[in-house]
Amino acid sequence: QCAAQGRKAAVALVSIDNGQKLRDTYGQPVMDQLHCFVGNQWKKNFDTPATRVVCRLTGSIFAVGCLDADGKQLAEEMQNLYRQMPRECITTTGMMHRVQFTMSGAAAGLDEVEAKNWPALYELCDARLRKVQASGGDRIGCAE
């Protein structure tokens, strides 16, 4: 619909680095709190109905959607925000834990995919996210 209207749109995928290792170390209740903490950090800036949205897709992967921005603009904004975000979550489930974490992310815009739809954007973001993770993570990227 955005493409048909000539509007820009971009999507980013963000993953908590080493999510399975954190789950094995701290347990699922602590991970649930970490997921909420991370989601809320992104929602502070990307929770504007009809133009920006954050949602948890699965496991430790979140999606950020943004209208009127391309992939590069979204990645730059998210990288700037990520630099300022706390990298430690203090959990209150059972014994208090200080869980240190990092995130990896990647963005893509409608202008970068031939098929102007969610599956095409997801596929490109997912490939970029895997590349960021393989290079060590702890950053939000876009096209290299």
% of the chain at pLDDT higher than 90: 79
CA distance 27 to 43: 24
More reliable by pLDDT, 131 or 117: 131
* DSSP category for residue 48: B
CA distance 94 to 5: 51
Q: What's this model's pTM, rounded to 2 decimal places?
A: 0.91
pLDDT bucket at 78, cuts 50 / 70 / 90: very high
User: pLDDT tens for residues 81-117?
Assistant: 999 999 999 988 777 889 999 999 999 999 999 998 8
Per-residue pLDDT at 144 exceeds 60: no
What is the pLDDT, as a whole number, of residue 47? 87
CA distance 87 to 144: 25
